[in-house]
Amino acid sequence: MPTPKLKAIIRRIDDLPTLPRTVFRISEMINNPRSSARDLAQVITDDQVLTARLLRLVNSSFYGFPQRITTVTAAIVLLGFESIRNLLLTTSVFDVFAGRRHDRQKARENLWDHSLGCAVAARVIGKHIRHEKTEELFVCALLHDIGKIVAMVYAPEDYDRATRKAEQENMLLRDAEADLLEYTHTETGRMLAERWNLPAMVADVIYYHHTPEQAGAFAKEAAIVHLADIFCRALQLGSGGDNRIPSLNSAAWDRIAIRKADIATIMTEIESAYSDISTFTDAATAAPSV
């Protein structure tokens, strides 16, 4: 049952930017086995901003293709459907993080870096354990803290109080929220995911990333994002508004079944993949006068 405060935020959440319609149309097309690269290119080229970004990204050092790619169809053929969706979703989510207001710019940037770090980490972990849906893991992790953006935009005083308490008492932001407020970022995040009509897996992983053992059908995915969050905090890739490292949920660790001896290798791989991808998102979003 939502508390009055949470209800007030729900009312205002209608003002939060929606993901561009194009991203939804693209997701639908990718899920349809009969879509061709040409169909997909048609949808993307209808949106000039996405087209410009896509071409900028595929021509960035992250992909390192030797020749300049000038058409969207060529980009799709070279990168594949799933990567295109990921890439477009990543840059669209960045818009939500970037916002229009200049206050809390640093906090937003840090949160973006943390989210991207977790997305990369979840994919690396997923690949290591041969999870079938590494692209979905990327999306779940990218959005796991999106509720913090909701708070930053619609309840900035609450967000400031909670981050201050988390810092002063060296506690997790979620625990500070639970102490001070009537809601936590996992609840607001799930609400936003539902409003965006994102898959149930994404909404549940957002809600349960601190309590993965309760995530039911998506317990494994929630466990992976929980571990990715710990890896990212340890590696100091961005910041989610608190400095503490959460303790590892032992049921989650057992469920993922990684060997302790492989931790250093996995973390090194995360560091390297993050370094590549953060450069490419900088290229996608930076002002022309960098």
Partner 1 sequence: MRRILLKDARIDMVLAADVHNGQDMLLLKKGVALTEKSLRMLKSWGVEALRVQEADGASADRPDPGKNQDKIEKAMEARFGDTLADPVMAEICRAAAAIVHERNHLS
Give Cα 160 distance to the centre of its chain.
Answer: 22
If phi > 0 it is left, if psi is from -120 to 50 it is alpha, else beta; for residue 245 that is: beta
Indicate whether 63 belongs to the interface with partner 1 (CB under 8 A).
no
What residues between 132 and 171 interact with partner 1 by CB under 8 A? 170
Indicate whether 105 belongs to the interface with partner 1 (CB under 8 A).
no
Helix 81-98 to helix 146-154 angle (10° resolution) is 20
Contact present, 5 and 182 (Cβ < 8 Å): yes
* Residue 67: C-alpha distances to residues 75, 83, 257 (Å): 12, 19, 42
Separation of alpha carbons 65 and 71, rounded Å:
14
Separation of alpha carbons 156 and 164, rounded Å:
12
- Please identify which residue in 156, 235, 273, 285 interacts with partner 1, judged by CB under 8 A: 235
CB of 289 to partner 1, least distance (A): 9
- Please identify which residue in 3, 31, 32, 236 interacts with partner 1, judged by CB under 8 A: 236
Task: Kindly indicate which of the ranges 37-45, 121-129, 185-193, 268-276 contains the residues binding partner 1, using the contact rule CB under 8 A.
Answer: 268-276
- Please identify which residue in 22, 211, 243, 285 interacts with partner 1, judged by CB under 8 A: 243
- Please identify which residue in 56, 128, 276, 285 interacts with partner 1, judged by CB under 8 A: 276
CB of 201 to partner 1, least distance (A): 25
Helix 105-128 to helix 81-98 angle (10° resolution) is 160
Residues that bind partner 1 (CB under 8 A): 61-62, 170, 230-231, 233-236, 243-248, 250, 253, 260, 263-264, 267-268, 271, 275-276, 278-279, 282, 290
